[in-house]
Amino acid sequence: MSWNLPNALTGLRICAIPLVMLLFMAGRHNPAGLGDTAAGLVFAAASITDTLDGYLARRLGLITPLGAFLDPVADKLIVAVALVLLVSRDHSLALVLSAVVIIGREIAVSALREWMSELGHRAKVAVSALGKYKTIMQMTGLSLMLYRHDLLGVPMYRSGLWLTGLAALLTLVSMVIYLRAALPYLRAKR
């Protein structure tokens, strides 16, 4: 059966995207910033489902082709939407560069994985531990930036911007690792 608990969690992450968008937009018109706070919390909850759905799928033996397809799509969609929303409000060079690097890398690595899969070598560019750390850093940073408001004296937005910048750096490093693994196949003559 394709529709199971892990896939339902992934589906919830996809459904959270328009909710994050609406809350973020409401934050522009709400001086108390409740929309921003809610957008950050919904994004954080959706991010937790990314870890939870994979864990449950492996633990319960519920790995499906649908889940293997939907999970990375959900991750890339919610991250790209969050970055675009944040850049719409903050045009700082640090954020714009981070957004370009993260979104550009996701497109490039997705294409590389698809191509390597066609060659029968998908495992050479499988998700690495570094990729998982990058995702944690990225999701945490974006959650803090969406939340936006200081909490107990901690500058959430600035902390999130630093984490997102670090995630962008890890994004580049992991892309180089994947490209190096694929290099022999990129140089091969057909």
CATH code for the domain defined by 5-187: 1.20.120
CA gap 175, 190 in Å, rounded: 24
What pLDDT shows up at residue 1? 56
Q: What per-residue confidence (pLDDT) applies to 190? A: 60
Q: What pLDDT does 188 receive?
A: 75
Q: What is the pLDDT of residue 32?
A: 64
The string of pLDDT tens digits covering residues 39-79 is: 999 999 999 998 899 889 889 988 888 888 899 899 999 99
In sequence order, what DSSP letters do the residues of 90-156 get, joined into one string?
Answer: ---HHHHHHHHHHHHHHHHHHHHHHHHHHTT-GGGGPPPHHHHHHHHHHHHHHHHHHH-S-BTTB-H
pLDDT at residue 138, as a whole number: 95
Taking the C-alpha atoms of residue 154 and residue 184, their distance in angstroms, rounded to an integer, is 47
pTM for this entry: 0.89
Which residues have a Cβ under 8 Å from the Cβ of 72 and sit 6 or more positions away?
A: 110
User: What pLDDT is stored for residue 13 in this prediction?
Assistant: 94
Mean pLDDT by 10 residues, the chain (190 residues): 85 95 86 82 94 89 88 93 96 96 92 81 74 90 93 93 96 88 77
| Of residues 103, 100, 95, 75, the one with CA closest to residue 17 | 75
Instruction: Parse the chain into domains and list their residue ranges.
Output: 5-187
What pLDDT shows up at residue 111? 87
Looking at residue 189, its pLDDT comes to 67
